[in-house]
Every structure is written in C-alpha cells, then in structure tokens.
A and B are shown apart, each in its own frame.
Chain A
Amino acid sequence: MTDLQGRSRDFGPSDDPWAVLRDATRARVALGRAGDGLPTSRELEFRAAHAAARDAVHTALDADRVRAALTGARVGLDVLEVHSQAPDRATYLQRPDLGRRLAPDTELPGGAYDLALVLADGLSPRAVHEHAAGTVAAVLDRLPGWSVAPLVLAHQARVALGDPVGEALGAGIVVVAVGERPGLSSADSLGLYLTHGPRPGRADSERNCISNVRPPHGLGYAQAADTLVALLQASRQLGASGVVLKDEGTTLPPGAG
C-alpha cells in the first residue's frame, strides 16, 4: 500500500490510517467524531483559533507599543499619528469609505519626499504591533539616498488612507503597511501596499501588494523588504505603480483594501 504522498507504506493493525490524511494537508481533516459532532478537544481548538482571530480584529492599535518597537529597531524617523473618519471599530468595519478618509482636523507637514510609510491598523492591529517595526527597519536599510517622510501611524485605517496621507506629506510614493484580515491560523499578517503618486481616488489596480509578512510562518522582513525595494525602484523609474508594474505575485488579493 502507498500513502497519499505515493510513498510505499504498509498499514499494520496498529497504524492509524487517519494520520495519512492529516499528514497530507493543513486542512482540518480526520478530526474524529463525538456522535455527529466534533470531539470536545477539536471543538475547543477551533474556538481558540477563532477567538485569536476575533481578538486580533478588535484589539486597539497601541501607538506607544509601536513607537517603542520602532526605537528598538533603531528606526530614527519622527512618528506622527492620524485618525480616519471612522470613530470606532464598529463603524470602521461597516463603513470602509470612512476608513479611507482622514479625520477633518488632520494636520500633516507638507514636504518633498521620495517615500512615505504609513503604518495602518487595518483589520489586525496585532500585525502592526508585531511586524511593523521590523519591516520598516529592513526597508529603510535598503534605501540609502531616498528621502523618507516622517512615519505615520494611522488609526481605523484602510489601505486607501495612504492616498491623502502621501499627498499631504508631498511623497512621490506611499507604502501602507496594514494589518490584514486575520485567518484562523494567521492573526498577525502584515500587508504592504505601494502606490505611486498618492492622491485620493487612486484605484486598487494602481497599487502593488506584498502579502503575508509574518515571520517565521509567513514572509520574513528581509525577504519582504527585498521585494518591496525592487518594486519601489521600478515604480520610481516607471513613474507609476499597479498592474503596469509587472512583477509576478504582486497583484492585489481579492477583498484587499
């Protein structure tokens, strides 16, 4: 008999055939049963994963924590804070349009920069807490000679909030590092969205995306920064971003933004 990998294998009487299924995929196969339901242990495992994902969505972005992490990662840029027009999480979740606009009293210092970096809570503030500083440090290390605007921490923010932020700062390109929608086994995934010539009204097709920055399970900081910097250089040269920047694997995933 062969197993699902096609390797030769003999099932003795003590072998568990279900292990063959479990080894073949990360899907939750061969969980066993309690009557027509799941065994208690499996049911509680699932609830724990869902709880972690739910909590990741509803955790508030902790600016002090992000600042401390940035300092720890030796990122020397000033840090500014902005809020979108969504006053709270419930509104944010139901009104993506408000999460794309800056609160009316927002003041950002205008300048002339090659790049602005926005750290946006998105759907997982936890991803910003855990991975933003490491990502920013790795990106800045690879951009000698680029003028970079003060970092902007954005509360209740969607990807497109980077457009008015980048425009106000006078940045040629904006990169929004945003907490992605948590999955059951990935509550802390950071996405990086690059937009050339940021201004309100940019379409998703004018952005490039690197998804799943989440070491050690997803992309590492260095790997993500290498890809992002290659895109940044190509974007600056081309004077555009999005579908015109033909880089394999950087198109927007469905539902992004």
Chain B
Amino acid sequence: MTVRRTTLGGHTHEFRSLTDVLAKATPARSGDVLAGVAAESQAQRVAAQHVLADVPLTTFLTEPVVGYDEDDVTRLILDTHDPAAFAPVAALTVGGFRDWLLARAAERDEVAISSLARGLTPEMVAAVSKVMRNADLIAVARRTRVVTGLRSTLGLPGRLASRLQPNHPTDDAVGVTASILDGLLHGCGDAVIGINPATDSPAQTIALLELVDAVISRYEIPTQSCVLAHVTTTLRALEAGAPVDLVFQSVAGTQAGNRGFGVTLDLLAEARAGALELGRGTVGSNVTYFETGQGSALSADAHHGVDGPVDQQTLECRAYGVARHFDPLLVNTVVGFIGPEYLYDGKQVIRAGLEDHFCGKLLGLPMGVDVCYTNHTDVDGDDTDTLTLLLGAAGCSFVIAVPGSDDVMLHYQSLSFTDVLTARSVLDLRPAPEFEAWLAMMDLLDDAGHVRELTPEAPAARALLAAARP
C-alpha cells in the first residue's frame, strides 16, 4: 500500500492506496457513495485525478487492486498480459496515455490504438477513462476497431447493429414471434435476436432456441439467435442437441462476483467449446455473448480488494477482462438497469455508458450498450436519445431494441426499434452488411437504403407475417 499525496489550491490531499486514488478520481456516481469510496468533495476528486494522471501504467502490473492469490480474475488478467502489445505505451503515465490516445485518434490511427488491447489491463483502461471527458471517450472509441462475426459481421466502420429483444412475460411463442417480426420490419436484429427467458428451464430455453432458429432458417436471415439463460442451462441445451448459436452469461469483475452469478472461468470455457463444435458460423466463429453493468459486484457484496472496496467502474472493466478471454461476438453493458443506488440520473447513466463503451472497446471487446432505464431512476427518453446518438458517434457496435421501448418481461425501458432507425439516419450508419443485403432482398429498403415504412399490402410485410403459419 503506497500513500500518495498532492497539493491543490494550497490544500494537501492524501490517498491511502492506488485503490483509493482510483475510487476518488471517478466522476460522481451513487454506487461509489453507497460503497463508501467516493470523493468527499469536488476538490478531492480532481486532486485524485491529478495523482492518478502521474501513475505509471506499469504500476497496474505490480499493484493489483484485487489480490492475485485470492481472485482468479486478477490471475487471468495478469497471466495473459501481452508485453509486446503493451510496448508502445509501456513508458507512459496514465495522463501521458490519455494524451497518446487522443493524438492517435486525431491521426485516425486505428491500428495503433486497436493493437494495444492485449497489452492493456482493465485497471489501466479504467484509470485513463477517469481522466478523460465524455468527448475524449467518444473520440478514442471511434478510432478503436473491433470486428467480430458469426453469421453477420459486427463492428465495421459506418455500421450500427442492434439486438432485437423480443421478450415476453410467459415466453409465449406467438407473442415472441410477433415482437421478432416487428423488429425485422424495422431493420433490427442484425447483432442477434436475443431473448431473456421468463424461466430458466432447459425445456423452455430449447423451445425458444428452436423458435428463433426456425424464423432465421425460414427467411435465411444472416443473424444469430441467443436465449439468455444461465450458462449451465445452455450447456444442457447443447447436450440436448439444440440449435445454440451463442453461449450467454452475465459476468462480473471479481471471482466472488462471478460466484454470485453461479459461474467459473472453466464453466464458460466448457460452454464456449460446446458452441464452437457446432460450427454454426458462416462469416466468423465468435460464439459467446456477455452482459455486464456497473454495480453488479457491489450488489453481490463482491467488490472488495486488497485495500478495501474497489470503485464500481474499475470492477466493471475487470468484467471485460473476463469477457475478452472467450472471444465474444457481443458484449454489452446494461447501463441503466441496475438502479439509482448505482447510477442515479441521466448524467451518471450517460457518463457510465460512454465509459463502458470506451473501456470495453480499448480492451478489445465488440462493445454494445443496452441504453436503458428503470422507473425509479431519474432518466427519460431525452437522456437515452442523448446517449444513443453519442454512442453512434463513438462507433458503438450495437444497441438493444424492444417494441416501443417497453420490455414487458423485465419491466424496464430500452430503445425502441424506431430509435435505431433514427440513430442510423441522423449519423448515416447502416446495418451489418450481410443483414443489410438481406433487408434489400426482402424489399424492406428504399432506394436510399432506409428501412421503408410498409403499407399493409406490401409483399415484404405479408411474407414476414406468414412466419406465423404453422
């Protein structure tokens, strides 16, 4: 534990550990107050940022915030660190790293930025994000390239994909199908058609997998399906021979957090191997999907490190350290879902969404965001518009969309299908290329490449609605 000090405006600020500096340097959010680690004043926060800016990046390789011996996430991070990839920035401090990233972004040097991924640890990336403003996070993320694929290609420049989320409170096949069709008619679903099942039973999971697989096969849609059941349930589905495109799991940034989710690194590796064996990809072989969110470790009382509680954003980045080990097709933060005790209002949710996207991308993840909110958080459609358009500018891989913004199973609001259309329109972004070609083939695009608003007689509408035919 190294005490660090700085003097700012005649005041000396002292921080008792690297963990303390990271927490106090974090832009304000309710979860860090709840954990008792937040800065106690604005001046203290900026003082911590000054101290953090002077920390050499190599410090994060020798001063783990969560212990190496007691935490398998720390071991994974440090044991897989790639010194060659790290070399271009190895001599820099956190502040110097920020300057380096901004310079490369201005030069549009995507290769230089994107090649760092395996040389960076989550703690380094969290640290630099804490001294960056929102526009910095956007500017650098925009020049960080992460391309993945299974049956569609995600992360290409000028593209914004979407997860079509057709949840239903009872997993009713007809209800789920109706939401899928509505999404497809709005040009959504190129990242994945992904259902949160109402119950975690293997039989239900298999039934939903078969339902989506039937729609995808019938119309030869270049996308993939996912039922976001627990990884152990997906393993059962794999054993039963179900059409599993993607293995899903929520992950956290500590071993204790993952234990809370009922997963181990071995279990994730086993499920990934099972899905890979099916060979269901056409343009790539990324077969995993992870969700994360700031506050998940704290909510499971799994946020403790060697020098006390760790701030939620650093732990979120460590969850990315877990995810990237399994070569995911998709990763997204569910940024406004967890509640106001972690992210209180629109300002905090927007900041966190941009941080998560930037940090995930820089660590090499195909990063998407569930731009969302619950009704007890001080967030509304104006805030989600702002975050969505900022993420579009930042080159976000995908967002999540549900019918009319209203998830009738999980009882929260995400983006609507029309929000995806608006973001693509405003920012000149297009769907994944294979999916875009399919939309054109189905006569769902106009001459300018926009998803057309269909009349009731349109052949495309009639063709898709026929999916209901037994």
* Interface residues in chain A, defined as those with a beta carbon under 8 Å from any beta carbon in chain B: 1-6, 11, 13, 15-18, 20-22, 24-33, 36-38, 42, 46-47, 49-50, 53-54, 56-57, 93-97, 123, 181-187, 255
Contact = CB atoms under 8 A, between A and B. Distances in A.
B375 A27 contact: no
B406 A28 contact: yes
A11 B469 CA distance: 13
B174 A4 contact: yes
What's the dominant secondary structure at chain A's contact region?
A: loop
Contacts of B469: 1-2
Interface of B: 30, 33-34, 166-169, 172, 174-179, 181-182, 339-341, 344, 374-377, 380-381, 402-406, 408, 411, 413, 416, 418, 421-422, 424-425, 450, 453, 456-457, 461-462, 465-466, 468-470
B351 to A, nearest CB: 16
A26 B169 contact: yes
Nearest to A6: B470
Contacts of B462: 11, 17
B352 to A, nearest CB: 15
9 contacts: A21-B182, A26-B408, A27-B402, A28-B408, A33-B453, A38-B416, A46-B404, A94-B340, A123-B376
A29 B182 contact: yes
The 8 A-B pairs at the shortest CB distance, nearest first, are namely A28-B404, A25-B175, A24-B178, A53-B375, A36-B421, A183-B411, A4-B468, A29-B182
Given A24-B174, A25-B408, A182-B375, A13 B457 contact: yes
Contacts of A20: 178, 465, 468
A24 B402 CA distance: 15
Given A30-B182, A36-B421, A50-B380, A184 B406 contact: yes
A107 B189 CA distance: 57
Contact of A27 (B374, B376, B403): B403
B33 A25 contact: no
Contact of A36 (B172, B182, B422): B422
A28 B344 contact: no
B169 to A, nearest CB: 7
Contact of A29 (B30, B339, B404, B456): B404
Contacts of B377: 93
Contact of B468 (A3, A15, A181, A186): A3
A46 B406 contact: yes
B174 A5 contact: yes
A27 B408 contact: yes
Contact of B375 (A30, A33, A54, A95): A54
Given A38-B418, A46-B405, A184-B406, 18 more contacts: A2-B468, A4-B468, A6-B468, A18-B456, A24-B175, A25-B176, A26-B408, A28-B404, A28-B416, A29-B181, A29-B403, A29-B404, A37-B422, A50-B413, A93-B340, A94-B30, A96-B34, A183-B375
Nearest to A15: B456
A215 to B, nearest CB: 18
Nearest to A18: B456
B420 to A, nearest CB: 9
Given A18-B456, A25-B179, A184-B375, A33 B33 contact: no
A182 B376 contact: yes
Contacts of A184: 375, 406, 411, 413
A94 B405 contact: no
A83 to B, nearest CB: 19
Residue in A2, A4, A42, A181 whose Cβ sees the most chain B Cβ within 10 Å: A4
Contacts of A27: 166-168, 175, 178-179, 182, 402-404, 406, 408
